[in-house]
Structure 1
Amino acid sequence: MYGMSGTLTVPSVVAPSTPEPNGLLGLLTLGGLILAGTVSKSRK
């Protein structure tokens, strides 16, 4: 999981002028929300 996030953040830094980083940020945000939801459910 950490390896994937590290790999995804590289292109956004290398090519900020491309629209791809926005999509990557969206995917990372969705992934974070999903992880947060699963963690909160497991704690309850």
Structure 2
Amino acid sequence: MLVANVFNGPADEAEPACTSALAAAHAAGIKVIGYVDTGYFGG
């Protein structure tokens, strides 16, 4: 399983290196899960 927080950086657009790495992991049969910080715990 791979957990990715793709918005943990300065850009507001998808980075080609990140999207290709996620696609390669998915193609290899790895479950890809996206993480989004919701601030639920007051953060």
Pick the structure with more helix per residue.
Answer: 1
Which structure has more RCO (C-alpha within 8 Å, separation ≥ 6)? 2
TM-score band w.r.t. shorter chain: 0.3 to 0.5
TM-score by length of 2: 0.37
Larger relative strand fraction: 2
> TM-score if structure 1 supplies the norm length?
0.37
